[in-house]
Structure 1
């Protein structure tokens, strides 16, 4: 089975039961987005290409850890051999840190507003990065919105300035204000990701009440002017009820302004726990469409240094997979 097909099939499964030698040091916990909480996740890698799977003792998919990170997944009559990648701070080779584990928004797919998570202090963030020096090539920052977008922007900018001396590219993904791209660039940020989340304005209004679709587009366009093509990303969740045609429209619009779309398969949770994950066939079809759109626009996700396009664990990323 070729890698692209295998990864699409594994992403469609989404969850894995880990057996064999204890693999605790390879399992990390997410504090943001639909995967927040739970029993953690791991990164399974084959020849340097990776997929992220949620750990679930009740999953049908089995991963056998043979020790020292060596692992095998029995899948459709084959034994897929690979290795588990360490993720010291949520992501292999990146310090991927959530500043605020609280949010005033109530996106239907997200579990964060259901809890009262922590808000990390600046010194705590610095200590986290220091603990991973030598194991990381980049720093990526994300955050909920515990009070207001403007206040979280100020907090993020202050922490970014403390991280610049590490000499690593810094990516940031927060809910923006109109000035966010400019102030992040002035603080030393290399790349940004502002998430549209849904393929259409109607779905966005339904899934992300209280957020501003028009603002996000304006901020994305401004970000490309400031950070350059290949250095601005935007997540779009696959499986919220959009058609393939609607997905292609938003992908091509993003590519036309120089933004790299990240097609994120839905992880059913919170208010969408009854939804289904998108099928492998759909993810492969959308990946082919995305690949064409990126090529026609002259964009290359492999040029990204931070965040999702650099990791490629949760999504099918042209130029990485």
Structure 2
């Protein structure tokens, strides 16, 4: 690596630690052989992200110790794009099995004025060198014309787009990402981007990230998931986990019961198996019924544990590629998003959590 070169996108990107391990660029092993199915890349600039989201490791005003300089609680090492492409473009028989398991590339923008143009450049470079589907997690705040940008992305080779709305209500969005924390993001801008992305990429080729546990009720979250579904997008679900040094570093994650119920709701909406009118809530906004027994609603999907697996963009075979191993918690027996089909002992644990807080 030429250290005299300005280490910024589009020539450099950061990778998730799991992605770097899969590429053979970082040492380590995967708990329960949960290899990543997507290579997650993060755009990077020396001046950093211009946003100030209260839960994020990239927040402008985050006060973290040197050993806490993380994003989603792990390090994201930086590499030259040419080095990553060289590894991915090797003949299949010459690359490690961990690399062969990668079925998608996801490029995440940060809130920086150079990001839109550099992102299109990155998509074009990867799509021109590698026959792997490409997703982009966009930052709507820095898009002067979302529709034109999405057209450029699609022409460059992307087939899916993600929009991280994260907070389930406009009030929480403003408090966590907008004016209350001196952040630039606006609820209306993000929803407008979702609608434009669906117009350009088509139904179910757009995802909306939502984080459970930022202070919303389950009824709030179900309403927003329903709006995502009505807009023609899929929900990709995350459980809040505190980032050291962030404004929410002392905020507790949601209970397993709360997360399991929302996982079930999201799965049902993503597969067009439920409407908002089917849900019943108690006086505190907690789900008390899905309208009929879960076994009738979900059948074999529930028995196999599909609703509790990580939700993410698919590979070419239609299976989830972006399984983000242990993105919500440390590797261990109590997982929130399973990066693989839960086994029998996992399902016994899950079933005990659904209605138990």
Regarding TM over 0.5, the answer is yes
Change in Cα spacing, 1:153 to 1:302, as seen in structure 2 (3 Å) is closer
The match for 2:106 among 133, 140, 143 is: 140
Q: Using a 3 Å threshold, how does the CA distance of structure 1 residues 263 and 204 change in structure 2: closer, same or farther?
A: same
Secondary structure at the counterpart of residue 247 of structure 2: helix
Q: 1:153 to 1:126 in 2, by over 3 A?
A: same
C-alpha distance in structure 1 between counterparts of 2:266 and 2:339, whole Å: 8
1:304 to 2:314 alignment: yes
Question: Secondary structure, in 3 states, of the residue corresponding to 1:255?
Answer: helix
Q: How is 1:45-194 mapped onto 2 (pairs within 5 angstroms)?
A: 83-86=32-35, 92-100=36-44, 102-112=48-58, 113=60, 114=62, 124-133=80-89, 134=92, 135=99, 136-146=102-112, 148=113, 151-165=114-128, 166-176=130-140, 177=143, 178=146, 179-194=148-163
Tell me what 2:270 maps to.
294
In the comparison of the two structures, how many residue pairs are matched?
238
Please state if 1:234 is matched with 2:208.
yes
1:275 to 251, 255, 260: 251
Contact 1:230 1:304 in 2 (8 A): no
Higher strand share: 1
Aligned to 2:192: 218
Indicate the structure (1 or 2) with the bigger Cα radius of gyration.
2
- The answer to whether the 8 A contact 2:163-2:190 is kept is yes
Q: Which runs of 5+ in 2 are unaligned?
A: 1-12, 20-27, 71-75, 93-98, 179-183, 275-306, 328-335, 343-357
Q: Structure 1 255/175 Cα, relative in aligned 2: closer, same or farther at 3 Å?
A: same
Q: In the TM superposition, what is the alpha-carbon distance from 1:286 to its structure 2 partner?
A: 0.8
CA-atom RMSD in angstroms = 3.5
* Alignment check: 8 A CA contact 1:234 1:260 kept: yes
Unpaired stretches in structure 1, ≥5 consecutive residues:
1-29, 43-67, 72-82, 87-91
Please give the alpha-carbon distance, in whole angstroms, between the structure 1 residues aligned to 2:338 and 2:41: 21
- CA contact 1:95–1:132 (8 Å) conserved in 2: no
Partners in 2 of 1:254 and 1:125 — Cα distance?
33
C-alpha distance 259-320 of structure 1, shift in aligned 2 (>3 A): farther
